[in-house]
Structure 1
Amino acid sequence: MADHSIEEAKRKAATRAVEDHFDPSATYIGIGSGTTIVYVVEAIKERSTNPNIRFVPTGYQSRQVIVKAGLTPIAFDSLPEDAVLDVAFDGADEVDEDLNCIKGGGACLFQEKLVAERARKFVCVADYRKDQPRLLTNWPSIPIEVAPISAHTVIHSLRQLGSANPRVRENLLPKAGPLKTDQDFFIVDAPFPALLTTADVAAGAAAGDGTGGSWEVERLSREIGLITGVLEVGLFCGLDGVQAERLRGEGRSTAGKLGGQRPVAVYFGMQDGSVKVRTAPARG
C-alpha cells in the first residue's frame, strides 16, 4: 500500500508539473532520470501534438523512456551550439526549503547538470519523502562523479573537508566491483552533516565554511568541485534559469552558462493526494 501511495504521489506531481510547464510549441525539452520521470513522459505524451519536439535525455535510462513513449530523442552533444531547452524536467533525491537539490542517486548527475544548465527553466518533480528543511536530513550522502584513477585522492580530500566516511559506490552485485556511470566514471558517496542554506548563514547560524563541520550548500559544492579528479558534484544550487537569463540581459556574467542548475519550482506529490508546489525565494 505504501509503495502504491508513493507511485500515485509521483504521478500526480508529474501531471501537475507538465500541465504548468509543458508548451506544445516547444523545440527542445530535457528529460531527466529516475522513476518519477516515467510519469512526466507519460503526461507529455498525452498532451503533445507537436511531432517536431526533440527530447534531450540525461542518460541511457531516460532515452529508453523517451523512445518507448514514441517521442524523438536527441543527444545533448547534437544540439545546435546556441540552442536553449525550453524546459527540463527531472527528479531529485532531496530538496531543501531554498530549492537546493541533491541528485545522483541514479548515477546520472553529470548529464543531469548539463541538461539543467542548458534550459530556460529546470522543473523538479518528486514525492513527499524528498521534501526536507535542509539537505542531508534524510538522504545520507552527496554523490560525486570522479575519474577512477583519482578516487582514493578524492576520498582523502573529502575527509579533509569533513566527510566522515566517503566511499566508492559498489554495484548491487559486489563481485561486479564499483558502479560505472555513462561516462565510465565512479561515484563517491560522501556523508556530511545537514547543510546550511544561505539564509542560515545570513542569520548567523554559522559561517558555512566548514568551521565546526558546518557547510553552506553552495560553498561546499564549490569546494568539492575544486578537487582534482572530480567531474561533477551532486548538489544543484546557485542560480536558476530565470535568474541566469536576467543576469545575462543585464550584461552580468553567468560563467558562460545558458541556464541555472537550481529548479524554478518543485512539485511534491503528497500522501493525501494533493500536490505541493514550492518556488524559490528571489535572488539578485
Structure 2
Amino acid sequence: MRLQRWVCLRKLAAGSLSAPSSWRLVAFTSQKQHVRRFSQTVANMAEEAKKLAAFAAVDNHVQNNQVIGVGSGSTIVYAVDRLAERVRQEKLNIVCVPTSFQARQLILQHGLTLSDLDRHPELDVAIDGADEVDSELTLIKGGGGCLTQEKIVAGCAKHFVVIADFRKDSKALGQQWKKGVPIEVIPMAYVPVSRMIARRFGGEAILRMAVSKAGPVVTDNSNFILDWKFEHAQNWKEVNTAIKMIPGVVETGLFVSMAERAYFGMEDGSVTIRSAPVN
C-alpha cells in the first residue's frame, strides 16, 4: 500500500494522474513538512552565523582597559557571551555601557562591569546589530525598539562596529528588510508625524502595535514607534535629517555614516567583513 501510494504521488507530481482527495492531502502535508524543515534549517544557519559574526567582532575590536557600548537584539547576545568569556579567560578590565534594558540585563547576568554615559561619556568601541546593512554601511535599526539609545551610544564611540547574519546584507535598503524604517515619536505627535512623512517622502508610516499586550509598542523612553514603509530608494542622509526636523520626532532608525565596519556571518560558516567607503 505504501509503495502504491508513493507511485501515485510521483504520477500526481508529474501531472499524469488526477489524485483522490486523501492523496492530495498527503502530498500537501508532505509539502508543508518540507517547508517547515527548510525554514528550520535556515533559522539554525542564521543563529550560527550571528554567533560567528559576534565572536569575530569581539575578538578583533575588544582590548584590555576599554569602555564598550553594548547593543541590543538577538545577535548581541552572542557578543556578550564572547565578551564575558574573554574577560574570564584573559582577566580583561572592561566596562560596559548598555543601549537598552535588555543589554543592561545581559551585562549583569554575565557578571560584567555596568556603567552609563554619565560616568563614561566617551566609549572606545560600540558593537551592535542591525536589521539591514547596505553597500555603504547605511543601516536600518530599531526593529527591537531601541533605536534612540542605540544611536546615542554609537555616537559616543570612537569606533562603531556592526554584527549581523547573511540575511541582513543588502545592496540597497529595503531589499531584505520589508518592515520599514523605525521612527521614535512623542505619543501625542504620532498622527501628524505619520501624515507629514507620507506626504513628503511617500509610502506609509504605521504605528507599531504590541503583540502580547493591547495597544502600541512603548519604547524604553516611553515613546511610540512608527514604521515607515518607503516606496523607493532615497538620499538617506538628507531624509534622515529632514525627518528628525519634524516636530515630535525623537530619532530615526537610519544610521548614516556611523558604522565603520560590518561583520556578516555567512551560510558556509565564514565571516565576511565590509568597511565603510572612504569619503
Band the TM-score falls in, shorter-chain normalisation: 0.7 to 0.9
Looking at CA atoms only, which structure, 1 or 2, has the larger radius of gyration?
A: 2
Taking only the aligned residue pairs, the percentage that are identical comes to 44
Q: Which has the higher contact order (CA 8 A, sep 6+)?
A: 1
Aligned-partner residue type, residue 269 of structure 1: G
CA change 1:167–1:130 in 2 (3 A) is same
Aligned to 2:51, which of 11, 22, 32? Answer: 11
Alignment match, 1:55: 96
1:267 aligns with 2:267: no
Question: What's the CA shift for 1:50?
Answer: 4.7
Following the alignment from structure 1 to structure 2, what is the Cα–Cα distance between the partners of residues 234 and 65?
A: 23
- Consecutive unaligned residues of structure 2, counting only runs of 5 or more, are 1-40
Q: Deviations over 1:88-132 (max 9, x none)?
A: 000000000000000000000000000000000000000000000
Alignment match, 1:144: 183
Alignment match, 1:41: 80
Aligned-partner residue type, residue 61 of structure 1: Q
Aligned-residue RMSD, C-alpha: 1.3
Aligned to 2:276, which of 272, 280, 283? Answer: 280
Question: What's the CA shift for 1:24?
Answer: 1.9
TM, length-normalised to structure 1: 0.80
TM, length-normalised to structure 2: 0.82
Following the alignment from structure 2 to structure 1, what is the Cα–Cα distance between the partners of residues 51 and 134?
A: 21
Contact 2:190–2:226 (CA under 8 A) maintained in structure 1: yes
CA change 1:237–1:13 in 2 (3 A) is same
1:205-224 map, 5 Å: 215-224=234-243
1:119 aligns with 2:157: yes
1:74 aligns with 2:112: no
1:182 aligns with 2:220: yes
> How many positions carry a matched residue from both structures?
236
- Consecutive unaligned residues of structure 1, counting only runs of 5 or more, are 196-214, 239-261
1:88-167 map, 5 Å: 88-140=126-178, 141-167=180-206
- SS of 2:158's partner is coil
- SS of 2:80's partner is helix
Pick the structure with more helix per residue: 2
Pick the structure with more strand per residue: 2
Question: What's the CA shift for 1:160?
Answer: 1.2
Q: Deviations over 1:109-163 (max 9, x none)?
A: 0000000000000000000000000111121201000000000010111111233
Question: What's the CA shift for 1:52?
Answer: 4.2
Aligned-partner residue type, residue 75 of structure 1: D
Contact 2:237–2:256 (CA under 8 A) maintained in structure 1: yes
- SS of 1:180's partner is coil
